[in-house]
């Protein structure tokens, strides 16, 4: 039982390049999330998927797109990377949306945009 996995662990991009961050969970969770973490800013929600087939914007969605490929997988795409997107990206999952929203995190992707 691997929990939440993310690939890649590290990535360096040049401004304008695109890439997709992959996330998968094996806990049969319905809801999945993408966060970014920057020094002094805490964890900020980019996008989330309450259930398979649905996605919604979070606090900082600009410059990103997501795809909920199936119940297990939720990817985050940067179409044209900018230096402001240099950050650590975490994927998380929870059994469901709602009051008992215990989220479990993947190991993170450290992205640098030059």
- Verify binding: residue 106, another protein, rule CB under 8 A: yes
What is the 8-class DSSP label of residue 81? -
- Verify binding: residue 50, another protein, rule CB under 8 A: yes
Residues in Cβ contact with 3 at an 8 Å cutoff, skipping those fewer than 6 apart: 25, 26, 27, 104, 106
Burial profile 64-94: b = 16 or more Cβ within 10 angstroms, e = fewer? bebebeebbbbbbebeebeeebbbebbbbbb
Residue number, 83 or 107, with CB nearest to another protein: 107
Q: Which of 5, 19, 43, 65 binds another protein (CB under 8 A)?
A: 43
Q: How far is the CB of 31 from another protein (least distance, A)?
A: 9
- Verify binding: residue 100, another protein, rule CB under 8 A: yes
- Verify binding: residue 42, another protein, rule CB under 8 A: yes
Residue number, 47 or 81, with CB nearest to another protein: 47
């Amino acid at each position: 039982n691997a929990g939440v996995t993310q690939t890649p662990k590290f990535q360096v991009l040049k401004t304008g390049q695109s890439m997709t961050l992959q996330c998968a969970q094996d806990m049969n969770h319905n809801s999945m999330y993408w966060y970014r973490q920057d020094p002094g800013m805490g964890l900020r929600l980019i996008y989330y998927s309450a259930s398979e087939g649905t996605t919604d914007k979070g606090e900082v969605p600009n410059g990103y797109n997501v795809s909920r490929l199936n119940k297990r997988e939720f990817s985050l795409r940067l179409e044209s990377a900018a230096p402001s997107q240099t950050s650590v990206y975490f994927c998380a999952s929870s059994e469901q949306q709602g009051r008992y929203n215990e989220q479990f995190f993947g190991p993170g992707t450290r992205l640098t945009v030059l």
